[in-house]
Amino acid sequence: MFKHCLICTDFSDGLQRLAGFVEELSLSGITKLIFLHTVSVWEDEHIADVDESKLKEAKTYLESLVGQVPPGIEVKVEVSSVRYVDLVNQLVEQEAIDLIINGMPVRSNLESKLFGSHTLSLAKSTKVPVMILRPQLVSTYTVEEMALRCQHLWRNLLVPYDASSAGNYLIERLKSALEKAPPGKVESCYFLSILEDGMRRPELLEIRRQEAEAKLAEIKQQFSPLVPNIITEVRHGSPVQEILDTAFVNDITAIAVASRRATLLDWTVPSLTDSILNRSWFPLLFFSPKG
């Protein structure tokens, strides 16, 4: 589904482990891997001198983790003191990156309500999708489990759809990504619409259900040439809980989400995507509003 991948790690998120699974990642269709670690130059709110020995030590460590590189696969290691978001966006352009993999620590403060501060900054500035992995999940995988996960990063996608501008944007971006993907890397897409609680009139609920089913039928027709197995379902209840329940029982490898927010005010308003990010342990494929 994606070919050129930038993996960002601060060494506390466990994502540096992915360097040992280059061969397995290549089986998911990736042909270029860049591993990035940035060393902060901020100390007590002031810019400190760059410690070249720390940069060298970090690069040596990251390079030592790189596993067997199959023929035709390109791997690079980047360690820098350049501002994180600036460097990521620079590499996205230089290396034709089409996916960023980032960690997502559990946080609750306003600044990092969405993904953590680094990923929040990326979400507002990058044009490529960001795959978000929970450090708590990555760190618990055995080598065997990690190898299997790396081969099937996006094999079975759950796609919540709510007919909003963000929902339509998600469909648009996902379809575009699938059209560029090598065949067979995505085996199934599960499109889910949820009718929220609060509709007291059964006839109104039934009308909404029929509308949702009709829209999902259109989506299925669009995606059928791209993915072997398309499943659609309309459920009734709490959106986040229904999404998680669906993911639990349907062998989902990642949940696809998107945002159309463009202003700072937009980012302070809670959304369904925020709720999924705060409550889900599943890998998340986030399509940026910049794309």
> What is the extent of the structural domain holding 175?
154-281
Q: How many domains does the chain have?
A: 2
- Does residue 258 share a domain with residue 166? yes
Could you tell me which residue, 15 or 85, shows the higher pLDDT? 15
In a domain, 113, yes or no: yes
Q: Are residues 108 and 38 in the same domain?
A: yes
Q: pLDDT value at position 275?
A: 78
Q: What is the pLDDT of residue 176?
A: 94
User: pLDDT tens, 107-152?
Assistant: 444 334 444 456 666 766 788 999 999 888 898 999 999 999 999 9
| Residues in CB range of 286: below 8 A, 6 or more apart | 115, 123, 129, 130, 131, 132, 257, 258, 259, 273
pLDDT of residue 49: 62
Same domain, 129 and 169: no
**Residue finishing a domain among 117, 135, 150:** 150
- Residue 257 sits in a domain whose CATH number is 3.40.50.620
- Given 150, 180, 196, the domain boundary residue is 150
pLDDT in the model for residue 4: 97
**Torsions phi, psi of 78, nearest 5?**
-120, 125
Q: Can you tell me the mean pLDDT for 257-279?
A: 64
Whether 44 shows a pLDDT value over 50: the answer reads: no
Q: What is the pLDDT of residue 266?
A: 47
Q: Is the pLDDT of residue 179 over 80?
A: yes
Query: How confident is the model over 68-93, as a mean pLDDT?
Result: 92
pLDDT above 80: residue 197: no
Q: Are residues 137 and 168 both part of a single domain?
A: no
Of residues 60 and 107, the one with the higher pLDDT is 60
pLDDT tens by residue, 211-267? 999 999 999 999 999 999 999 999 999 999 999 999 999 999 999 998 765 544 344
Instruction: Identify which of 177, 188, 80, 95 has the alpha carbon closest to the alpha carbon of residue 130.
Output: 177
Residue 7, classed as helix, strand or coil, is: strand
Q: What are the E-state strand segments in 170-272?
A: 188-195, 229-236, 254-258
**20 and 141 share a domain?**
yes
pTM of the entire predicted model: 0.88
